[in-house]
Amino acid sequence: MKLTLEILNHPLLDGVRHGFFTRKGGASSGLYNGLNCGRGSEDQRDVVATNRARVAEAMGVGPNRLAGVSQVHSADVVTISAGDDLEQVRQIKADALVTSVSGIALSVLTADCQPVLFADLENGVIGAAHAGWKGAMSGVLGNTAAAMRKLGAQRIRAVIGPTISQRAYEVGWDFMEGFTAEDPQYERFFSGGPDGKPMFDLPGFGLAQLRRHGVEAEWTAHCTYSDPERFFSYRRSTHRKEADYGRLISAIAL
């Protein structure tokens, strides 16, 4: 029996095909039970390919038109043009993609980091970014908006999908000091946790970065760590001392 995918949408992106896919409805089993789309995981390759094909079908494109990059927590953005070889694009080390070409679904993989989908529907430009704390600090979100504007985007909207929430994201004091050294105002993204250590607000930081760059932005308010039935989480898997973890996929297409 073919299980039904669970796809989260957001009204800010109404009018453009998009989805933050949960782990439900996939073919993987064991640690990866559900829709694991991570080629970098230790899951069976053919099963991951099946999961990715299901995502492509849901996005209305062929499996070879589901674009992605080799994510490395950078601020680098790839612009996809008509005729580009998407298999070659997948080998590029970067963390965001933009395009004005229809028939291509841009995708990013996450397991606590922020998946961010962008669109200017009026001008036919979309983007997708993978933004953990390092990429967000380095400027991947602003760079994605800038790359979209080079393609003619003007009014850009973005939604942050399921990511680790502040209540689940305990960090060290050195982590907090690194942020506040960059900008003292970043202190507002930290609060005291139950063990007295700082708790970091990753989606709050992401929203601030997006809005600073003139992007209308919202968060779906789903926490990956706190909902194991729906989401994979790197931090939760680490706390459970599991050998590996699945990757969620988020995608957008014109």
Q: For position 99, which CATH number holds?
A: 3.60.140.10
> Is residue 174, in this structure, part of any structural domain at all?
no
pLDDT tens, residue by residue, 210-230: 999 999 999 999 999 999 999
> Is residue 1, in this structure, part of any structural domain at all?
no
pLDDT tens, residue by residue, 179-193: 999 999 999 999 988
* pLDDT score for 2: 57
Q: What is the mean pLDDT of the chain?
A: 95
Question: Hey, what are 249's tokens?
Answer: 């996929």
The pLDDT confidence band at residue 40, using thresholds 50, 70 and 90, is: confident
CA angle 136, 209, 251 (to 5 degrees): 65
pLDDT tens, residue by residue, 70-106: 999 999 999 999 999 999 999 999 999 999 999 999 9
Cα end-to-end span (Å), the chain: 30
Closest Cα partner for 122 from 162, 164, 151, 142? 151
Residue 152 contacts residue 5 (beta carbons within 8 Å) = no
> Is residue 179, in this structure, part of any structural domain at all?
no
> Is residue 110, in this structure, part of any structural domain at all?
yes
> Is residue 19, in this structure, part of any structural domain at all?
yes
Residue 84 contacts residue 134 (beta carbons within 8 Å) = no
Tell me how far apart the alpha carbons of residues 63 and 65 are, in angstroms, rounded to a whole number. 5
* pLDDT score for 1: 46
Tokens 């202190």 belong to residue: 187
Please state, in angstroms and as integers, the Cα–Cα distance from residue 233 to each residue in 51, 170, 178, following that order: 18, 14, 24
Residue 30 contacts residue 39 (beta carbons within 8 Å) = no
> Is residue 117, in this structure, part of any structural domain at all?
yes
pLDDT tens, residue by residue, 101-128: 999 999 999 999 999 999 999 999 999 9
What average pLDDT score do residues 155-179 get?
96
Question: Hey, what are 33's tokens?
Answer: 């039970």
Report the number of distinct structural domains present in the chain. Answer: 1
> Is residue 98, in this structure, part of any structural domain at all?
yes
> Which residue range is the domain that position 122 belongs to?
7-165+201-253
> Is residue 92, in this structure, part of any structural domain at all?
yes
CA angle 171, 175, 181 (to 5 degrees): 145
The pLDDT confidence band at residue 150, using thresholds 50, 70 and 90, is: very high
